[in-house]
Amino acid sequence: MPDRSTLLKRFELKEFPQPDMVQLKYPVFMCHGYGAIGSVIKSGPMHDPCMQIRAHGVPAIAPNVVPYARIETRAKNWVLLIDKFCKEYGCEKVNVVSHSMGGLDMRCALSKLDIAHRVASLTTIATPHHGSSLADLVLKAPELVTEKLSEMFDWFGDNMYPKTKSDALGSLEQLTCGYVTDVFNPEHPDAEDVAYYSYTAAVGKGTKFSINPMLKFQNSQIFEKEGENDAFVSVESAKWGTHLETVPLSHLAQMHLQMNKESQKIYEKFWLNLLKRLAKSGH
């Protein structure tokens, strides 16, 4: 028979039951990546991580831009939103946290669009800084298939974000290994007064962490070409600036999609540690 004191221990109140508080010098501005899968079931792809950050007492915002468009187009949209946010809330600067293609958007903005004075740091999460072989794989499909997919995604994007014309195929071409490595990177040097950090991610093949069966094929395909990956972007491709950590979360789990008990704990710890590192660096 269980000891009565052990049973009552469950009801003992914690002195501080709320999430840890983190104090940053500047608020967090979040940029989402390519696609609109997260927007179908929530307010935006980065809405859940934004709420996770707010739970730690950090002011954060996660706006939406056109989900399928070229880097230059999305970069201009992010610049307008950062300016609007800073003016509306009286912020001198923001810490930008970008997921996936959003990291390339912001590197473009910082390099070409005179927004560096508004950005204290750029932290990228699973951004294809050297491209993704998944984009190459999709573009190798028969022309009729890519054409139909492009039409469908453009239609979807135009209806979800009618302010800006979608270009699903043009933006996918900008995520290929050849384009990012040979064209984008040489043309977009880092801004001098901005701190650049990166997180990589790996699950599935080559790791001890499980992956959703629906993502196994692309996870294996990327592994054969680039090594460990999160089913969209490889570890090696996602490194830029100061590389901080390889996180055992799939590309979708980083946005709080396809979660299980194990990934939920990793997800919560990851976002808290990200904030603590920004705080420690004086951002």
34 three-state secondary structure: coil
- Specify the higher pLDDT residue, 128 or 156: 128
In a domain, residue 14? The reply is no
Q: Tell me if 8 is assigned to some domain.
A: no
**43-83, pLDDT tens digit by residue?**
789 999 999 999 999 999 999 998 889 999 999 999 999 99
Contacts by 50-53 with C-beta closer than 8 Å and gap 24+?
A: 52/256, 52/267, 52/268, 52/271, 53/28, 53/271, 53/275
Question: In Å, how far are 9, 12, 190 from 1, measured between CA atoms?
Answer: 15, 20, 65
Those residues whose C-beta lies under 8 Å from the C-beta of residue 261, and which sit 6 or more positions away, are: none
119 SS3 class = strand
Give the dihedral sign, CA 266/100/94/280.
Answer: positive
- CATH of residue 179: 3.40.50.1820
pLDDT digits (tens, 9 = 90+) for 179-193: 999 999 999 999 999
Q: Is residue 72 part of a domain?
A: yes
State the total domains in the chain.
1
Boundaries of domain holding 231: 24-280
In a domain, 9, yes or no: no
- 190 Cβ neighbours under 8 A, 6+ residues apart: 107, 110, 111, 196, 241
261 has a pLDDT exceeding 90: no
Q: Is residue 266 part of a domain?
A: yes
**What whole-number distance in Å separates Cα of residue 174 and Cα of residue 129?**
11
pLDDT tens-digit readout, 210-260: 999 999 999 999 999 999 999 999 999 999 999 999 999 999 999 999 888
Residue 7 lies in a domain: no
**Residue 198 belongs to some domain of the structure:** yes
Distances from the Cα of 155 to the Cαs of 38, 82, 161, in angstroms?
17, 27, 10
Is position 17 within any domain? no
> What is the residue-averaged pLDDT of the chain?
90
Looking at per-residue confidence, does 18 or 153 come out higher?
18
| pLDDT score recorded for residue 235 | 98
What pairing do the DSSP bridges indicate for beta strands 242-247 and 195-201?
parallel
